Chains A and B, each alone.
Chain A
């Protein structure tokens, strides 16, 4: 199929439909309301459902209820809305239900603004909601990759019975880019009849709950969840090593939109004969600690430059990955400002 020109938000909606996710509940918030505006027309064409909820609290709990039927379900929101959804995320993770949450991140804290940001990194990777739970977090850097991540997210959600978060940002949500759906896998959801609550006809009742009053059962449940997160750590780490086929003196670490900017900086310096590497985590949880450590431990590697659209959040994982054995410099822009490749190049020059 030919490429189609789509706005990021529309591409998110279309990708979900093609992944067979025909239940969508959401509450408007800039910069991602266009997902709902797209799906309100698209869902009826494919026999799907879109319902505008009264709040993100309600939308995320609608997802909780809908996911219990085993159907593919999802919601989209942006930072303040994700804060309200954190309650449901904790419950859904505890109940082990598959579903997809998309966060088109805007700048915060508080009402913040409507421009792109990566200020929700810690919220996405460290919880947000209460208790020992993890989301598998995918961080695309282009509209095309967002489409691929949405489709992958539904597969992973079903496989792990866990909420998956696709963390984009306001730039990806609002940008128009050509999108190719031809590589889209045919949705292949597993059989969920062993746990879905769809009426106890001819079988014992199914129960989906998160309350464990007995400390022994509570501990058992936490350990079961932890084993699942370990499995993700073992099998789902994704990253891109750009211009790192050979050891580099300076290696940047960036994800999402920022990584795309950093790539341009790498290419620009290459033209001058300066070789810089870029390490781009694609899964933010599980974080690619080992591959980053291996790169940082090369003798030639002198300096890491972490670039983010926040005050320095992923840098904590870079420090964990490298045990602070190499110097790390942080360069960040905030308030919705996307760093330019020229700015990044200037930062690199300071380190050379």
Chain B
């Protein structure tokens, strides 16, 4: 019987070995994006925008044009790109500190204008790159280097649910939250990424897929414990699924 290759590196990925820590799911998320770029035939028109955060070096792993934005500014950056060249397929790849803290104005306004690009939002409930400080998404009671006694919601408020916040905008958009800590979740996540890029390719709307991601290093856990922590702690606070699609009837006021 002839052998058939059924699993290979997507053309949209380079052969570079990633710098991510063992058990970090940034790499899985990269791969899902690359697979979709391949499957939709978008690689040659794709331009990625890297954030400042652990994924700042994403451009080493994607085999398409790439740029590096300033911290939090990727949505403004992508707006300039897409408005200048609407024929390109633009995606930003941003962490939770990048998108929900320093760059919250930029993401809200880009979403509200209905910018026709795709945001891959990697929520790992912490600032990974700078060594594990509290993020706007850090869970109540979660210990980080700047919340050593656990996040005190009376003092610093509750974690922000960006999927919910952006879905409240009236402008049509595709906004979903997915996870990648089990194969079943990865399959679901890929469907959302496909939809997000398809909507962009059709010039329909802004699209964002929020990923619940692991940071075993800064959570102080083994990779296995980290995936369990996503299931037990993140999923209950950050429910999975689509919250907004452009097909929905917008509420009249």
State the CA gap A71–B76 with chains docked (Å).
17
With A199-B45, A201-B45, A207-B59 in contact, do A61 and B76 touch (Cβ < 8 Å)?
yes
- Chain A contacts of B170 at CB under 8 A? none
User: Are A199 and B80 neighbours in the complex by a CB distance under 8 Å?
Assistant: no
User: Are B84 and A49 neighbours in the complex by a CB distance under 8 Å?
Assistant: yes
With A61-B106, A65-B49, A88-B70 in contact, do A206 and B65 touch (Cβ < 8 Å)?
yes
User: Are B80 and A64 neighbours in the complex by a CB distance under 8 Å?
Assistant: yes
**B65 — nearest CB in chain A belongs to which residue?**
A197
Question: Shortest distance in angstroms between A74's beta carbon and chain B's nearest beta carbon?
Answer: 11
**A142 touches B (CB below 8 Å):** no
- Chain B contacts of A73 at CB under 8 A? 80, 84
- Chain B contacts of A133 at CB under 8 A? none
Partner of A211, one of B56, B83, B84, B85: B56
With A197-B67, A205-B62, A210-B68 in contact, do A66 and B47 touch (Cβ < 8 Å)?
no
Partner of B59, one of A23, A198, A209: A209
**B229 touches A (CB below 8 Å):** no
With A61-B76, A65-B79 in contact, do A205 and B66 touch (Cβ < 8 Å)?
yes
State the CA gap A49–B65 with chains docked (Å).
23
Partner of B80, one of A55, A65, A211: A65
User: Are B65 and A198 neighbours in the complex by a CB distance under 8 Å?
Assistant: yes
Q: How many A-B residue pairs have CB under 8 A?
A: 131
User: Are B44 and A200 neighbours in the complex by a CB distance under 8 Å?
Assistant: yes
- Which B residues, 45 to 82, have Cβ-Cβ distances below 8 Å to chain A? 45-47, 49-50, 56-57, 59, 62-70, 73, 76-81
- Chain B contacts of A67 at CB under 8 A? 80
Number of interface residues of B (CB under 8 A): 35
- Chain A contacts of B64 at CB under 8 A? 199-200, 205
**A196 — nearest CB in chain B belongs to which residue?**
B65
With A57-B76, A61-B77, A62-B77 in contact, do A208 and B68 touch (Cβ < 8 Å)?
yes
**A33 touches B (CB below 8 Å):** no
State the CA gap A88–B68 with chains docked (Å).
12
Question: Shortest distance in angstroms between B95's beta carbon and chain A's nearest beta carbon?
Answer: 15
**A107 touches B (CB below 8 Å):** no
User: Are A69 and B76 neighbours in the complex by a CB distance under 8 Å?
Assistant: no
- Chain A contacts of B160 at CB under 8 A? none
**B191 touches A (CB below 8 Å):** no
- Which A residues, 210 to 256, have Cβ-Cβ distances below 8 Å to chain B? 210-211
With A58-B109, A205-B64, A211-B56 in contact, do A25 and B45 touch (Cβ < 8 Å)?
no
State the CA gap A51–B110 with chains docked (Å).
11
**B43 touches A (CB below 8 Å):** yes
Question: Shortest distance in angstroms between A66's beta carbon and chain B's nearest beta carbon?
Answer: 4
Question: Shortest distance in angstroms between B11's beta carbon and chain A's nearest beta carbon?
Answer: 11
- Chain B contacts of A180 at CB under 8 A? none
State the CA gap A66–B81 with chains docked (Å).
4
- Chain B contacts of A64 at CB under 8 A? 69-70, 73, 76-77, 80
Question: Shortest distance in angstroms between A51's beta carbon and chain B's nearest beta carbon?
Answer: 6
With A61-B80, A209-B59 in contact, do A54 and B106 touch (Cβ < 8 Å)?
yes
Question: Shortest distance in angstroms between A9's beta carbon and chain B's nearest beta carbon?
Answer: 22
User: Are B85 and A69 neighbours in the complex by a CB distance under 8 Å?
Assistant: yes
**A91 touches B (CB below 8 Å):** yes
Contacts A/B (CB < 8 Å), 24 sampled:
A23-B84, A54-B106, A59-B76, A61-B69, A62-B77, A64-B70, A64-B80, A65-B67, A65-B79, A65-B81, A65-B84, A69-B81, A87-B73, A95-B67, A95-B68, A199-B88, A199-B89, A200-B65, A205-B64, A207-B65, A208-B67, A209-B66, A209-B67, A211-B57
The 5 closest A-B pairs by CB, nearest first: A65-B80, A62-B80, A66-B80, A65-B77, A61-B76
